[in-house]
Structure 1
């Protein structure tokens, strides 16, 4: 395998080490290759569904966290933000709420049955839903509306998807901490129970002064916490390549840890020896799929989901916030938020995926 020079910070010590001994000492997720990035079996299994959950007038619906209840009804929790004219969802940092929809099937119709998370004092955004035993667990971006407050992570639990929901008394359970990889930012959480029965929250982190998002994890022995950051954070980072990632969705399946990430700035091209010279955070944004045996050290990624243009033949716009809908312990649908529609986003059928 040939390692290629990307022309990014070519004189840096990091690049020299990466290009000369990547396969020996660097994280597998960082290894450069002259081979095009492989499309994963997961990506090949995805079949276009449809766009759902249009917002009411004056609002912007964003993303979907789906789950079935015990009766087989489909519940979706999603962010809803007052529309800010030409700036669209610009109020998400201060005015986002979490709505709750229910349908008898993925085809709908969907009924808005409530707004379980709304406050004048904080914003609730980008939820992710799980079930642990008899308890439903919702994690979300939690941010005070006070000037200068930083993005953090909250949790709430309930015995029923219809509530009542109880916020963790220690919210925010993960918050930016000076001198750490999340000093500037901790948000967009994804929750799982690991091989040892411990509780993990993977999340988007940023260090002070950085312009690049990374992925970190905090682990707890008890569901309610405390959640302690792992000493090897950040676990996945392309900051040294000046590339950006976000929106992790992590899951533990068939004794393997997986993570789907949004590729904001052509990480796939950079790792494959054909980087876009001026990659911007808008536009394409396909997904990457990572695998790991321990959930700490991650393999070189493969391509996961594609774009709305590919699936629906429409004008390209940003697809973000991947979430899986599980049925009987197996992944059934992938849900994605979308910037270029009036709906919260769209779903894709996961058809016949078998992990390799």
Structure 2
């Protein structure tokens, strides 16, 4: 569970978070990690700009990886503009685009995974792509739904020998929700994966309790989003849930209870530690990113501010249109790793040339 649960529980984001992120000259706590670790997310983020702006689509969930040819492949979600922002849940597909460098324009290549229709666990959407190279093959973790609603969100895994495919599509989800009444009985979603040094395969996932979700009186935060861990001896599973789940739960911090949550975790290992980026949902506020670290991957530090909204980086964008309620906020953080080290941060953000949503890229360093 989290340490320092009550630390800073009553503080507002501004100006504290801006100072913590290195964007003011005000005194601030130490940088996100001691020197022996790495977390150059804050004042070392250099905006590259928006990528994958598509006139007829919302673009989300940008997961990048270097290919054998040195080019950058990004696996991303998209859904028709006509469906509005909520189309990710019912009508999303996962695509692949390629660029010569992380700062070059990305060119759409193909649709990798699309909803398969009635009778399949991923019948109505394919979302949350997370790409990794594991054991000589490419592993594409993702989320699918069978009815276009949150209660059928399930994590799956597609594999291929090449980034260009063909991809072996799973006939069953990789990870199912817990039994009725458990903290994770509603769904499994937002996959984050790391291969442990001991050879095990660790899958982090987001979920919440159905009753809390259905009886919530706060329309902005329904249920208590927490993160669990599942472990396997093989990449393809079976994955067994850790008995101490959930491994991250912010709901006990202070007196705000379920309003302190997070989602969109990305996990990697560096300097012998587990590192995690995520989107805040009330620890500070709903506009920033979070950074956590752990010695063992189970007990995590108190979150620190990792990144701020786009406007805080000197990026000028048009005023927010009425149909985009989360305009300019950075979500779904995913890292492009170079020789195992974070080199670029890819996020999703509403807005862009067509006032839908696109990728937004930062250089780290």
- Asked if these proteins are the same fold (TM beyond 0.5), I'd say yes
Q: 1:167 Cα deviation (Å)?
A: 2.2
What is the match of residue 242 of structure 2? 230
Q: 1:181 Cα deviation (Å)?
A: 2.1
What is the match of residue 112 of structure 1? 108
The answer to whether the 8 Å contact 1:83/1:90 transfers is: no
What is the match of residue 220 of structure 1? 232
- Over 3 Å counting, the alpha-carbon distance change for 1:186 and 1:29 in structure 2 is farther
What is the match of residue 94 of structure 1? 90
Listed as ranges, the gaps of 5+ residues in structure 1 are: 1-25, 269-278, 352-356
What is the match of residue 141 of structure 2? 139
The answer to whether the 8 Å contact 1:257/1:291 transfers is: yes
Listed as ranges, the gaps of 5+ residues in structure 2 are: 22-31, 33-38, 118-122, 213-222, 320-326
What is the match of residue 335 of structure 1? 346
Q: 1:313 Cα deviation (Å)?
A: 3.9
TM-score computed with the length of structure 2 as normaliser? 0.79
TM-score computed with the length of structure 1 as normaliser? 0.81
CA-based RMSD: 2.1
Aligned positions of 1:65-80 closer than 5 A = 65-80=63-78
Instruction: State the distance in 2 between where 1:305 and 1:46 align.
Output: 8
Instruction: State the distance in 2 between where 1:115 and 1:221 align.
Output: 30
What is the match of residue 126 of structure 2? 124
Instruction: State the distance in 2 between where 1:29 and 1:296 align.
Output: 15
The answer to whether the 8 Å contact 2:89/2:150 transfers is: no
Aligned positions of 1:1-356 closer than 5 A = 27-28=2-3, 30-33=5-8, 38-39=20-21, 40=32, 41-43=39-41, 44-57=43-56, 59-84=57-82, 88-121=84-117, 122=123, 123-145=125-147, 149-169=151-171, 171-178=172-179, 179-210=181-212, 211-240=223-252, 241-242=257-258, 243-265=260-282, 267-268=283-284, 284-311=286-313, 312-314=315-317, 317-341=328-352, 342=354, 343-351=357-365
The answer to whether the 8 Å contact 1:63/1:338 transfers is: no
The answer to whether the 8 Å contact 1:205/1:234 transfers is: no
Instruction: State the distance in 2 between where 1:74 and 1:232 align.
Output: 37
- Over 3 Å counting, the alpha-carbon distance change for 1:151 and 1:308 in structure 2 is same
Q: 1:27 Cα deviation (Å)?
A: 3.1
Instruction: State the distance in 2 between where 1:217 and 1:29 align.
Output: 21
Instruction: State the distance in 2 between where 1:118 and 1:99 align.
Output: 9
> What secondary structure does 2:109 align onto?
strand
> What secondary structure does 2:307 align onto?
coil
The answer to whether the 8 Å contact 2:2/2:249 transfers is: no
- Over 3 Å counting, the alpha-carbon distance change for 1:72 and 1:100 in structure 2 is same
Instruction: State the distance in 1 between where 2:166 and 2:246 align.
Output: 35
- Over 3 Å counting, the alpha-carbon distance change for 1:162 and 1:29 in structure 2 is farther
Q: How many residues align?
A: 307
Q: 1:149 Cα deviation (Å)?
A: 4.9
The answer to whether the 8 Å contact 2:186/2:209 transfers is: yes
